[in-house]
Structure 1
Amino acid sequence: MAARVVLVAGFTQHDVADEVWRASPDSVLVRHDLSRLADGVVRRWVDGRLTVLELAHGCVSCTLRLDLVPLLEGLDARVVVHLDPALEPEAVCFALSATEVEVEAVLTVVDPARWLADATGGDTLAERGMGAAAEDERTVAQVVVGQAEFADALVLTAAPDPATAAVLERLNPLAPRQQLDGIDVPALLAAIPATARRGGFDDGFGSLLYGAPPLHAAHGVSVVCFSEARPFHPMRLHKAVDVLLDGVVRTRGRVWVVSQPDEALWLESAGGGLRVGNLGAWPRDRGQELVVITTKDPVRITAALTAAVVTDEELALADELDFVDPFGEWHEEAEL
């Protein structure tokens, strides 16, 4: 049998993993420290026993592929994995998806005193001295938003202010929450609904409103649901993306640009960080569908995206026009 895993993530360092470990007799506690990953060095503890690993290529994917995944595949126990702050649980679960390792739950620790500022900011991990490798261009926002969004349950280090609470409710409405000073691990794990992700994925064509979040505005937080049956003009969309990088916690959605009529693009942003990827061919009718959680004026977002849609004349001449397409060479980190 393979390991049954509880992942504990979070940009803030607290001993939640220890609490989970103590609440689960006979479990194994695994910790990773990637602070020297750029030098090819990873430190790993298993129940307090330190192993120093030297990797030929210091990167997150190498750490998962060469160390964490084989380690978990070799354990037949419940394992509590305390992830390094720079690790996103979604990447870990993706690496485990090809194995027999079962993800029981993903817990994320959130510090409300700084989380919303980080989630809407533009600092890179490198600027905070936390870059996992020289080529790691991820932003702090991408990490903290991804950690909270992918969680099955949240542990808050303090009571959140109303705006932070409103954002978390819209970002991850299904996740039960407890405060650190009164944590009851068995109760928190039991409160995770049967419909929780538990490390699962969809193909990018599922609902963008995971868990049916509230859509009304509250405490300065709004949700923009943008849909359109016509494609985007690639250059106007490239310009419109700027509004998704200012005061926006999260953008997720499928995009159709007129210059790529058969390709479904995936666009997501968090704070000042953006990713654009390719989902492949459209499985059904093409169209735009984006969901944006913002702390600024939602009207300007809708207006900018609407202005980026092609006109009737452009659509009629689409086969004849030679569009300049910044999204033609889609890649993981869009250069804007």
Structure 2
Amino acid sequence: MSDAIPVTILSGNLGAGKTTLLNHLLREAGDRDVAVLVNDMGDVNVDADLVADGSELDVDDGVTELSNGCICCELQDDLETAVVRLARDRSFDHLIVESSGISEPAPVARLFTAESRAAALYDVSSLVTVLDTRLFLDAFAGDGTPERRGTDADGRPLSDLLVDQIEVSNVVLLNKADLCSEAELAEAEELVLALRPDAETIRTEFSAVDPATLLDVDRFDPGAVNEMPGWKQALEGDDHGGDGAGAHGDHHHGHRHPDEVYGVTSFTYRRRRPFHPERLAAFLRDLPDGVVRSKGTLWVAGNDHRQVVGQAGPSVRVEAPSPWIASLPEVERDMYRSNRPDLDWHDEHGDRLTEYVVIGTDVDRDAIEAALDDCLVTDAEFEALDDGSFDADGPFPNEPGAEAVIREPTPAPNPGE
């Protein structure tokens, strides 16, 4: 039996109820000895004081407080030092790490799973995300979005962060359930299922949940297929043959495919013909309101780089991680191909391919696929590509590692202005 200390990593948007959950877990811990690491985005770590007051623990005794900042970013070294010191100085049964409401949980989990001093002492048991259910629904509801949806400290839309937090979670708490109708709660559950098919969802009020549900479990398995978010499972499950969208594969563990859930659909658009950059940009800027999440690789005409698009609610961003292998000089191309025998290679187009997963509520698949087909280059434009006369511009990056913002949320008007 391993002597490693189990770790629960807690994330969620600002105001969702993470600190309330933390206090609840400490109050109801029973005979468990729980250590906690908390941080806050303010100059003073308010969360540490709240947790200490709510659990009748002294900060110096039961709660270790990190200095100001995001524990998964600039304070990564501080976090590692803190967890190692905790394990060496105190005896406890379980560690809970509460990340800032503006940070992603995945880098925190990597600290405990990669080769490090912390990984030698701890095992991640689960990643838990707390949602303000009303805000979560509003973030993807299109019209009537409240002012609370905005951007994080780096200017990234909070809808992006909400999706990132859900897509790595093992457990999602739909908190403030008393503020939502039964239909709204069911919709939230189906959205989480589509984004993260293998996560357990739990409805809560004031973050009240049985501590055993979060602490006495071992859900985290970074090497398992079921650790994939919904869009990756859609790609892995699809039939890769042909130029079309492909058929859906079966999921394991008894989980329902999002297509089987009323109101929530998921499909993959797959083509071996490039997009016209201007028509594609126009499509991405005007996605149907029901599209909650879409992600994948795009082949854009006149661009030698793979375009990886990520959309969460109103936010659409594209990056160019690397060139298409087919666009490289022959010697490099042959080297890459020899090292990747399973590479999907087309005799004419090489590895150039669009694979784009769409997840949404009540979306019209046929209409979206038809609109995407209209964005593909015509035969005449394809000929222009071959003879070098193709002339079209667009916002897509053409340098390795470059990024572009295609669409951002429109800030809600301030009633006081």
Q: Does the alignment reach a TM-score above 0.5?
A: yes
Decide which moves more: 267-276 or 222-231.
Answer: 222-231
Residue 219 of structure 1 and its aligned partner are, at CA, apart by: 4.5
Cα deviation per residue 1:203-257 (whole Å; 9 max; x = unaligned)? x988646894524365533323211121222222111102337332111112121
1:168-247, aligned counterparts within 5 Å?
Answer: 168-180=192-204, 183-188=209-214, 190=217, 192=219, 208=235, 212=251, 214-216=257-259, 218-244=261-287, 246-247=289-290
Moved more, 210-219 or 298-307: 210-219
What corresponds to 1:148 in structure 2? 166
Higher alpha-carbon Rg: 2
Match of 1:268 among 284, 289, 310: 310
Aligned length: 324
Query: Are the counterparts in 1 of residues 127 and 220 from structure 2 also a CA contact under 8 Å?
Result: no
Distance 1:147 1:119, change over 3 A: farther
On the 8 A contact 1:228/1:287 being kept in 2, the answer is yes
Please tell me the residue identity of whatever aligns with 1:17. L
Q: How does 1:57-136 map to 2 (within 5 A)?
A: 62-76=73-87, 78-93=94-109, 98-100=114-116, 101=119, 102-120=123-141, 128=148, 132-133=152-153, 136=154
Offset at 1:2? Answer: 7.9
Q: State the match for 1:13 in structure 2.
A: 17
Change (3 A) 1:144 1:32: same
Judging by fraction of residues, say which structure has more helix.
Answer: 2
SS at 1:239's partner residue?
A: helix
For 1:196 and 1:156, the matched residues in 2 are separated by 27
- In the alignment, which residue of structure 2 is the partner of 1:166? 190
What residue number does 2:33 align with? 26
Whole-angstrom distance in 2 between the partners of 1:197 and 1:86: 27
After alignment, is 188-197 or 280-289 more displaced? Answer: 188-197
Change (3 A) 1:185 1:44: closer
The letter of the residue matching 2:314 is G
Q: How many angstroms does 1:33 deviate by?
A: 0.7
Verify the 8 A CA contact 1:42 1:53 in the aligned structure 2. yes
- Alpha-carbon shift at residue 163 of structure 1 (Å): 2.1
Task: Measure, in 2, the Cα distance between the counterparts of 1:294 and 1:147.
Answer: 18
Which is strand-richer, 1 or 2? 1
Counterpart CA distance in 2 for 1:28 and 1:199 is 29
- How far is the alpha carbon of 1:52 from its aligned partner? 7.0
Q: Quick one: distance in 2 between partners of 1:220 and 1:92?
A: 34
Amino acid at match of 2:7: V
Compared CA separation, residues 16 and 267, structure 1 to 2 (3 A): same
Give the conservation status (yes or no) of the 8 Å contact 2:39–2:71.
no
| Cα distance, 1:20 vs structure 2 | 4.6
SS of match in other structure, 1:68: helix
- Cα distance, 1:276–1:95 mapped onto 2, change above 3 Å: farther
After TM superposition, list the pairs within 5 Å mapping 1:268-307 onto structure 2. 268-280=310-322, 281=324, 283-284=343-344, 285-298=351-364, 299-307=366-374
Note the C-alpha offset of 1:172: 1.3
Identity between Structure 1 and Structure 2 (%): 26
Q: 1:178 and 1:304, CA in 2 relative to 1: closer, same or farther beyond 3 A?
A: same
Checking the alignment, whether the CA contact within 8 Å between 2:270 and 2:353 is kept in structure 1 is yes
Distance in 2 between residues matched to 1:315 and 1:173, nearest whole Å:
39
Q: More deviation in 187-196 or 74-83? A: 187-196
Question: Is the Cα contact below 8 Å between 2:159 and 2:315 reproduced in 1?
Answer: yes
Work out the CA distance in 2 between the residues paired with 1:214 and 1:201: 13
Say whether the 8 Å CA contact 1:176–1:191 is kept in structure 2.
no
Gaps of 5+ in 2: 53-58, 238-249, 326-342, 345-350, 408-417
Matching of residue 317 in structure 1 with residue 384 in structure 2 = yes
Q: Between 167-176 and 2-11, report the one with greater CA deviation.
A: 2-11
Q: 1:43 deviation in Å?
A: 6.3
Following the alignment from structure 1 to structure 2, what is the Cα–Cα distance between the partners of residues 123 and 97?
41
Quick one: which amino acid aligns to residue 153 of structure 1? V
